[in-house]
Amino acid sequence: QQQVKQSPQSLIVQKGGIPIINCAYENTAFDYFPWYQQFPGKGPALLIAIRPDVSEKKEGRFTISFNKSAKQFSLHIMDSQPGDSATYFCAARGRNQGGKLIFGQGTELSVKP
């Protein structure tokens, strides 16, 4: 119940394409869903986050879509660039769970020029 399942494990797209990364959860007590981007040798960097009372959120080229009834959420990267090549993690946090994020397994994205 505490798991967050992320897919695909890896993804290759051409520059300008729209990679989509999906996550699914079981625990209905989760109420905060962030996405992190991690480059080799660096810590994860917060990209964008959403709460379940919102179905979509956009920040720059990054969009989260959230489907509360299906318990799924996804990250879309518009007009992807080679500099977006990184590992992306979805995560979830329960009410009153403070800093305890439950992470998906990660998606390694490669954007080809």
CA nearest neighbour of 24 among 109, 104, 108: 104
Reduced to 3 states, what is the DSSP secondary structure of residue 67? strand
Q: Least CB distance from residue 1 to another protein, whole Å? A: 14
41 vs 113, beta carbon nearer another protein: 41
Looking at 10-18, 20-28, 36-44, 58-66, which segment touches another protein (CB under 8 A)?
36-44
The answer to whether 6 touches 23, Cβ cutoff 8 Å, is: yes
Is 100 a binding residue for another protein by CB under 8 A? The answer is yes
- Residue 48: strand pairing partners: 35
Check binding of 22 to another protein (CB under 8 A).
Answer: no
Contact 100, 84 (CB under 8 A): no
Q: Would you call the peptide bond into 8 cis, given omega within 30 degrees of 0 as the criterion?
A: yes
For the CB of residue 46, give the shortest distance to another protein in the complex, in Å.
Answer: 6
Assess 62 for contact with another protein (CB under 8 A): no
Identity of the residue, 7 or 17, whose beta carbon is nearer to another protein in the bound complex: 7
